[in-house]
Structure 1
Amino acid sequence: MSDCRKYFLELTPPSLGDNTATIDRLGKALARGEGGWPAAPVGRLDGFAQVMRQAGYKVTATVCTGPAGPVLVEVEPGDATAQAPGEELAARAQEVPPELWGREGLGVALDVGSTHLQATLHELADGAELAKGTCLNPQTQLGADILTRIHAAAQPGGGQRLHQMLVEAAAKVIADMCAQAGRGVEEVAGLVAAGNTTMTHFFLGLDVQSIPREPYIPLVNRPSPFYTSDVGLELGPATVGWMLPNVGSYFGGDLVAGIVAADLHQREDLAILVDVGTNAEVVLGNRDWLVACAGAAGPALESGVAKMGILAQPGAIEGVKIDPVTYEPTLKIIPGPDGVAVSPKGLCGSGLLQLLAQLYLTRIMDMRGKFRIYDHPRVFESEEGWAYIVATASESATGEAIYVDEVEIDILLRSKAAMYTILSTVLKEVGLEFSDLSAFFVAGAFGNVIDPDTAITLGMLPDLPRERFIPLGNSSLAGCRKLLLEPEVRPQVEAVVGRLTYLELNVNQALMNRFSAARFIPHTDPGRFPSVPVWH
């Protein structure tokens, strides 16, 4: 029979100064007695955390040795060390997989995004990619933003509903990929998944309510490997899942995966990784140190605020070129299935940004985002100020004109200013300049479609030699794929998490001054952007 030990622990309650996740607080304390961080069954974490909070963090933890090594199997309030561990506790040590997958069967890399789920299916023997899969995150039905979903999860049965939506969507994507490859889901031996901190909790079926509340403590940052059936994802008889660790409430496993994908933690020279999604997330550093921070700059850039903004899909305008003489636009529209040309439905993030840059470069609008040209068929005065028509009602698929107005332009300029402010603040905090960067990795769908010239014209990204900008695409998925197929890379995840320092962006006067200066195109200090013409 497995042997078990009991520990009475008087833990320091979480605070803004010590925002270690609830379960990690326990793991850290137990590591001293166990000689290492014990694993914990994912299905029991909610219960453990509840006991810890109710007992004021004075608890007795039981650790049993199982095939996976030491496993945390029980948490009781107060000092319960006088009672011997029950016989049934030893069996719980079997709930954590003894090891990750080998080279047999299939493997899945999965990015659990707030908006989309994206996945790839691989032959574990040689790493060959057999299929790709994607779907809209069904949670978007309840709310585009994370806070709305957290609120929905607080309703009776809400958390379970949000968890099920996510797991069922993942199951369908995996089943569809297996069908494409002519294989069965029961052949899937391993899954590596990553998402932001809230998505990680939703996927694992964990309580999310402490994440947005001071002191902003996730339930867990380093979840142990698990059997996928324990989270309701029925694949093979003993499919093992690994959800990449978070670093805090605002820094998820998706960014950890991105660091691994970019090899940021292995580089000798200095580089930066920017992932623009719901937030703008930034990691700066090299093999010696890593600094990370996040800030709200994403929704506008993901088309979340523009009336004519839509997600990247067939019919979305992803590129705009305006003739400097006629002021007529040439549009690049995402085609339908099999490359069939379709009429435009709206502007996606890259299209919006390119439109703004073109309006500025053709001098239709000035550096403040205000129109200079009024007497043109494509320019009209809307209820929200002057506007430019990208596609007329007869040209659009909706039968309504697609245009952008000054109010939306102002929102987009705030977003790009937030982005540049976050970047410049991170560098300033560590005493560096943009010119010190040898590489600038741009991740997310944004990184795939935004060209550096557009971002630099707007003053969103720094004016660096263009070859330093490296699009990474879905860096979270790329990192998951690497960790799925390369066992030798897996220990590096602990090193990345251990090396990361999370920088809180304090909203002080200096930061607000930087933000105000960055609200112009490209900036109030044109010397920062020597390659961009200045129109007043």
Structure 2
Amino acid sequence: MDNFGWITTIELELSPPSLKDNTADVDRLLKTVHKNLNQSEIKIDLDFAKSLPFLLREAQYSVRVYLSQEGQCYRIVNLSSQKLESDIYGIAVDIGTTTLVMALLDLKTLSTVKEIQANNPQIEIGSDILARIHFASSNNGLETLRSMLLNALNEMIENITREAGITSSQILCASIAGNTTMSHFLLGLTPYWIIREPYIPVMNKFGLLTAKEIGLNICSEAPCFVFPNVGSYFGGDLIAGILSSGMHEQEEICVLVDVGTNAEVVIGNKDWLVACAGAAGPALEGGVASVGMMAQEGAIDSFFIDPDTLEFQFSTIG
């Protein structure tokens, strides 16, 4: 048994069925997996069960099982022949109001294979997020916004897998971060009350979903983690930033500034964190501020100040 983050793999030799052993295919697999994991509950989806008889026989019952852990339970994500390569990939997605970024990760080597970005197609509806929220309240508006986003993400999945020379079914998990409104658009949740007093989202914690539930064209049973919100104006993108920076583990007082549609500032350390937010989208989207522009070729995307020399360096998109 091997663990690769969210994915656990087990190689099994199953006894083929016979007249003396006519155990059902699903029962045969679950019984053997159960012995290896010593778990009281192992879940298998009905859609996956439909393909299981063919997968078992193609592999001649010498199989590699891919599972994800959900609390005290395991869910079977995929199954393949032991003779095939056991490459395991995941994707990390940043859903920005203006820009979508996707990274393809090799879960065995813990390395980034490819990274691509694209414009958020919802810009066609409105460059600012308020316009999109109002549009979501119109007939089929929310579903239109969700479809635009999913189509763009699935096109990115198609492109990144083609460039990496793999298939989308080899992507076995996904991590997704976005602000509160973008997370709602992705999951088809109305953002109507986010901008109305007392500014309440539909959900803050989304649990572990499957790619099939969201609509992502990767392995259908792949676990997908959508970063939780803290509230209407502190979204999963900020939580992802805190975790990525490691400021929540530091003894020293740290400051994190995330400038997007909203500008969030977090200050604190491992003992406490305080955050505040304010509108900032127009500065990056070319509105209001005279030097603002969209996140496109030529825009500054990162900067660095050398602490010793105070020399200022920056990079631009493209």
Of residues 149, 169, 177, the one that matches 1:166 is 149
- Counterpart Cα distance in 1 of 2:138 and 2:155: 26
**One-letter amino acid of the counterpart of residue 164, structure 1:** S
Could you give the per-residue CA deviations for residues 38-62 of structure 1, whole angstroms, max 9, x where no partner exists? xxxxxxxxxxxxxxxxxxxxxxxxx
Residue 192 and residue 100 in structure 1: after superposition, are their counterparts in 2 closer, same or farther (change >3 A)?
Answer: farther
Q: Give the distance between the partners of 1:142 and 1:191, measured in 2 at CA.
A: 27
Q: Is 2:249 the partner of 1:266?
A: yes
Partner of 1:180: 163
1:69-101 alpha-carbon deviations (Å, 9 max, x no partner): xxxxxxxxxxxxxxxxxxxxxxxxx9xx94598
User: Aligned partners of 2:77 and 2:250: how far apart in 1?
Assistant: 29
- The TM-score, its normalising length taken from structure 2, stands at 0.68
- What is the aligned partner in structure 1 of residue 227 from structure 2? 244
| Aligned equivalents of 1:202, 1:66: Cα separation in 2 | 33
Specify the alignment match of 1:108 in structure 2: 91
Which has the larger share of helix? 1
Provide the C-alpha distance between the structure 1 equivalents of 2:309 and 2:144, rounded to a whole number of angstroms. 45
Distance 1:207 1:452 in 2: 41
Measure how far apart 1:209 and its partner are: 1.0
Structure 2 runs not aligned, ≥5 long: 1-39, 44-69, 79-85
Among 256, 259, 265, the residue aligned to 1:282 = 265
1:128: Cα distance to partner?
A: 2.4
Identity of aligned residues (%): 41
Tell me the equivalent position of 1:365. none
Instruction: Identify the range of structure 1 (295-304 vs 234-243) with the bigger mean alpha-carbon deviation.
Output: 295-304
Hey, what does 1:202 align to over in structure 2?
Answer: 185
| Distance (whole Å) between structure 2 residues aligned to residue 278 and residue 203 of structure 1 | 17
2:193 alignment partner, SS class = coil
Secondary structure of the residue that 1:183 maps to in structure 2? Answer: coil
**Displacement of 1:113 after TM fit?**
0.6
1:470 and 1:251, CA in 2 relative to 1: closer, same or farther beyond 3 A? farther
Q: Distance in 2 between matches of 1:292 and 1:164?
A: 32
Against the structure 1 CA distance between its residues 466 and 207, is the aligned structure 2 distance closer, same or farther, given a 3 Å change threshold?
A: farther
Tell me the residue number matched to 2:127. Answer: 144
1:189 shift after superposition: 0.2
In structure 2, do the counterparts of structure 1 residues 225 and 253 end up closer, same or farther at CA, with 3 Å as the change threshold? same
Shift of 1:122: 1.2
Pairing 1:16-27 to 2, within 5 Å after superposition? none
- Letter in structure 1 aligned against 2:143: Q
SS in 2 for 1:174: helix
> What is the SS of the residue equivalent to 2:294?
coil
Measured against aligned partners, the alpha-carbon deviations of 1:472-524 in whole angstroms (never above 9, x if no partner) come to x9xxxxxxxxxxxxxxxxxxxxxxxxxxxxxxxxxxxxxxxxxxxxxxxxxxx
Match of 2:233, as an amino acid? Y
SS in 2 for 1:120: strand
> Structure 1: which amino acid aligns with 2:216?
L
RMSD: 3.3
1:145 to partner: Cα distance: 1.1
Question: 1:291 aligns to what?
Answer: 274
Q: What residue identity is the alignment partner of 2:174?
A: L
The number of equivalent residue pairs is 243
Report if the CA contact (8 A) 1:221-1:246 is conserved: yes
Partner SS for 1:150: helix
In 2 relative to 1, CA 121–267 (structure 1 residues): closer, same or farther, beyond 3 Å? same
User: Are 2:204 and 1:213 equivalent residues in the alignment?
Assistant: no
Whichever residue aligns with residue 134 of structure 1, its letter is Q
Match of 1:413 in 2: none
TM-score by length of 1: 0.42
Structure 1 Cα separation of the partners of residues 231 and 309 of structure 2: 33
Kept in 2, the 8 Å contact 1:200–1:243? The answer is: yes
1:128-162, Cα deviation, whole Å (9 max, x unpaired)? 22211110000011111111101010001111111
Q: 1:230 to 1:173 in 2, by over 3 A?
A: same
Distance 1:250-1:113 versus aligned 2 partners, 3 A rule: same
Runs (4+) of structure 1 exceeding 4 A deviation are 65-68, 97-104, 306-309, 464-471
SS for the counterpart of 2:195 is coil
Bigger radius of gyration, 1 or 2?
1
1:53-452 to 2 correspondences below 5 Å: 98=74, 105-306=88-289, 309-314=292-297, 334=298, 348=299, 350=300, 445=301, 448-449=302-303
1:287 deviates by 0.2
Comparing both chains, which one has the higher relative contact order based on Cα–Cα distances under 8 Å and sequence gaps of 6 or more? 1
CA deviation after TM superposition for structure 1 residue 104, in Å: 5.4
Write 1 or 2 for the structure with the bigger share of strand: 2
Superposed counterparts of 1:495-534, under 5 Å: none
Deviation at 1:466, TM superposition (A): 7.3
Q: Is the 8 A contact 1:100 1:190 kept in 2?
A: no
Call closer, same or farther: CA 1:468–1:218 in 2, change over 3 Å. Answer: farther
The answer to whether the Cα contact below 8 Å between 1:109 and 1:192 also exists between their aligned partners in 2 is yes
Distance in 2, matches of 1:465 and 1:215, equals 46
Q: Distance in 2 between matches of 1:205 and 1:157?
A: 11
Report the CA distance between 1:305 and its aligned residue.
2.7
Checking the alignment, whether the CA contact within 8 Å between 2:284 and 2:292 is kept in structure 1 is: no
Say if 1:127 and 1:266 are closer, same or farther in 2 by CA, change over 3 A.
same
Distance 1:308 1:247, change over 3 A: closer
> What's the offset of the Cα at 1:235?
1.4
